[in-house]
Amino acid sequence: MRTFFLAWFLPSLPALVLGAQLTIAHFKTAGEKQEIQRQLQDVWDRGVEDPSAVTKGDCRQIQDCIFAFRAKAPPVPDRVYHFLRSHYEIDMRSGANDLKEQAVRVLGLQV
């Protein structure tokens, strides 16, 4: 048991600590992302009700939040990104289509 501890666990400890730190950082980032999504949804809802209610300042504030979020978000390993990429792409396209349909329906836009 002592040999196992010295031969495997001790040399692996820095990688395990890094993994734990990244996991905690990702959970924290997920919470921040939900807050940005809530703010964006609020602006969207206002804009669908009354397009003139959304200002350039509102849009700029959202862009700034997204930039700050992306700048400080912890890295995602390439393998994980490539594994999940198609799933995220499908979700993004579906969400964008839902928003487009809502805008067309509520605002009476022609597409």
> 68-106 pLDDT, tens per residue?
999 988 888 899 899 999 999 999 999 999 999 998 888
The model carries a pTM of 0.70
Looking at the structure, do residues 21 and 67 belong to the same domain, yes or no?
Answer: yes
> pLDDT tier at 16 (50, 70, 90 boundaries)?
confident
Residue range of the domain that includes 91:
76-111
Looking at the structure, do residues 64 and 14 belong to the same domain, yes or no?
Answer: yes
CA distance 9 to 41: 46
Looking at the structure, do residues 71 and 23 belong to the same domain, yes or no?
Answer: yes
| Buried-state track 64-75, b at ≥16 Cβ within 10 A, e below 16 | ebeeeeeeeeee
pLDDT tens digits along 27-82: 898 888 999 999 999 999 999 989 899 999 999 999 999 999 999 888 888 998 99
**Which whole number is the average pLDDT over 9-21?**
85
In the chain, how many domains are there? 2
Q: Which two tokens stand for residue 71?
A: 């700048």
Segment holding 42, helix H or strand E: helix 10-49
Looking at the structure, do residues 39 and 65 belong to the same domain, yes or no?
Answer: yes
User: Which pLDDT belongs to residue 11?
Assistant: 81
Looking at the structure, do residues 21 and 40 belong to the same domain, yes or no?
Answer: yes
Angle at 53 between CA 30 and CA 58, to 5 degrees: 40
